[in-house]
Structure 1
Amino acid sequence: MMTLELRLPSDPAEGGGLERYPLVGQPVAQGTYSPARSRLAFAAAHVVADPLGDNSPGAPAVIDWEHTLEFRRHLWSLGLSVAEAMDTAQRGMGLDWKATQELIRRSAAEAPDGRIAVGVGTDQLATDGTHPLDAVIAAYEEQLAVAEDAGAQPIMMASRALCAAAESPDDYRKVYDRLLTQSTRPVVLHWLGSMFDPALDGYWGSASVDAAADTVVELINDNVSKVDGIKISLLDASKEVALRNRLPEGVRLYTGDDFNYPELIRGDGERHSDALLGIFAAIAPAAAAALKALDDGDLETYEKVFAPTVPLARQIFSAPTYYYKTGIAFLAWLNGFQPGFTMVGGLQTGRSLPHLADTFRLADQAGVLTNPELAVDRFRQLLRVSGIDA
């Protein structure tokens, strides 16, 4: 059988140019899975931009609803739940509140067995200036009402507006205590590190992760019946484990660590993390297969399937980390889940061609190019429109 290959851009630091790349990966077997029994697993899904819409930077988002929802059906078919309208969907980076509301309603209407949780934030507030805490609370309340009306579990997203307005941990407590009291179902709290969003530096009222963790643990202990869990994205496994060990019984730690997820989900024999990950949208077949192996007690297969996805995840989430969404949409395009490599806000320009070439290589090696022939053809199209005859 002839080896599938193409010429890819090489490392600019080593002279650049094109180099021959023969594909070596074996795509992870496709199939339909039931939800994992041993872990809860949410894939934070991206949105597909309408290629005929004005999705230039600063313009209101125009979404390709057919492909956006079809991708979510794909995730559900693999047994994964969907974390909707999160930062992976470009909240604060192209996806405006009007489009977000429609996204939540459309996705929640299709979700099987309630397997959806949705981001509740404050991004309808103007970005210029600082808002009083009461305005921040009102913005959260408006979005919480949308989530509850859709019948979806709320994820209380970290808020840029709250981070700008709060003067102490007590201000965070004022806001979250109010919201938790009002929610009709247990929520997922959300701690997103500044590598994902620089505007969230010092969240929970301290630049010290340990001090911030004290505030979070106190908040959860005082509202334990209202908190399902907390999603933490600090890209520091030791900090996550330390927080996980302090949570009260029944409160979940949802890992958002796209660098160290295999070990955190596997756990240490006493405690484990559940998952709420952007990378799961990119490696969905592998994630489904690994979780099934974990259910079956087959740790060898679990490690074998997940291990080659980690270099890919570290590539996609490399600095500047907040452009990871470009890699998620890029792989969706390569795998045929969207007709073009376009994103709301024009964010497809967030990564260089050499970066995308390395993403292609690592996706192949991880077995997550589900149709290698299509992926090769599409990358060649990208090279041609970039002025490269490959």
Structure 2
Amino acid sequence: MNLSYWEYKSWFQNIDFTIVGSGIVGLHTALNLRTRFSESKILIIEKGSLPEGASTKNAGFACFGSLSEIVDDLKTQSPEKVFKLISKRWEGLQLLRNRIGDEAMDFQQNGGYELFTENDKDTFEECLEKIDFVNELLFPLFKSPVFKLQKDTFGFEKIHQQIIFNPFEAQIDTGKMMQKLLKLAYSEGILILNNQSVTGYQENETDVKVTLNDFSFSTKKLLFATNGFSKELFSEDVQPARAQVLITKPIPDLEIKGTFHLDKGYYYFRNIDNRILFGGGRNLDIKGETTTDFGNTNLIQNELERLLKEVILPNHQFEIEHRWSGIMGMGQTKNPIVKQLSNHVYCGVRLGGMGIAIGSLVGKELADFV
């Protein structure tokens, strides 16, 4: 790139911190660094026109785990570790609310519901067996029972007539949240450079040389907030996981309100602007959905439409208006990776599909590492 003197001086000279990724983690990292280092020069590199990955493509669930997901986690982790992970998610949600403000991101605590299909009797009974144990486990955090049985009043079909309600779950407007985070970053003098991909980096004794598509620059510290795209830049236990989503056109007299989980969280839907936003189905093709390529497949989109027609909206006419996908970061465990990779390089990745809940906390922890 043929940089002018002004461009080089304003954007690429004497950079203290370079953050790769302008999603939830990247922006929170930058804002926390600004609090700690008020006079520092902070640059965020983003490969997309908008934050690429899942930060602007998620379903807007302010959740910390459905009962069946928690029961599943208890099979491989101790209760103490499960409690710690949920505590981190809950703390992250509070950090997000404090920074953004509920009104600015249209935070609505309408509660969350978990549905069980007629063929998923074993999972339902397993949740019934564990509900008291999980409520007792989480009581120190929430000071009241989190999960309780409730009769389906939404008119769903082909599901168990008893569903599980969680009053603490909420929903947000993802676009409004990210717009507010970007405004905060700009107001703090944080530089954001879009449409530039980091192709490599070389650490020196006192700084790091960062290579982009067509030029390079030096920074004192380099921080990766790349989540599902991390494998392209460094080696950690993070695998990409594509999530496919669709949204209907407005539906007259839509009474469904809240956030809903189905099939151990592999499917999820919610109301927004008199529409149903519905995503999931990654479990139909785990191998195929372990990709950084955006796009939709007939296999998953057809199943989403079938479930909409037969289970969620059996008594409504609806049309699909839009479809998209996002890229999450998964691993062998659901705990995020926040660590120092070398003298001047750090990462905060592997959000496990819980970016809204835990992203702000990961950003804070990543900034605290410096």
**TM-score interval, smaller chain:** under 0.3
Task: Judging by fraction of residues, say which structure has more helix.
Answer: 1
| TM superposition score normalised by structure 2 | 0.28
TM-score by length of 1: 0.26
Higher strand share: 2
